Amino acid sequence: MGKYTKMKSDATVQSSTEAGKQAVKQDPDAIGVVSHAHMGDDVKTLSIGEISPEDKTIADGSYELQRSFILLVKGTPNADVKEFMD
């Protein structure tokens, strides 16, 4: 949203993904942010430029509202951790 975007002073912050989904589900004017993996048929996703968030559009980058995960490890990862990170 950019560094100059301010959150409304009366915005509600939820403590978990499920709490956020339930809040959005109960308020027709609410907007929330959750990981794609947590989406279900109980809330509507946001299409951007007629591109909906799906495995394919997220993977190929055509769905633009996404973020990468950054994995960090202290020191050299062991084989299992390296395999997971790769």
Quick check: is 4 in a domain?
Answer: no
pLDDT band at 1 (very low <50, low <70, confident <90, very high): low
Quick check: is 10 in a domain?
Answer: no
- How far apart, in whole angstroms, are the C-alpha atoms of residue 33 and residue 40? 13
Count of structural domains, the chain? 1
The number of helices, as runs of H, and strands, as runs of E, in the chain is 3, 0
Range of the domain at 56: 17-85
Residues 6+ positions from 53 with CB-CB distance below 8 Å: 36, 39, 45, 46, 47, 63, 65, 66
pLDDT digits (tens, 9 = 90+) for 40-77: 888 888 899 999 999 999 999 999 988 878 899 999 99
Confidence (pTM): 0.61
pLDDT digits (tens, 9 = 90+) for 3-48: 777 777 888 888 898 998 999 999 988 888 888 888 888 888 889 9
What are the b/e assignments for 23-37, b being 16+ CB within 10 Å? ebeeeeeeebebeee
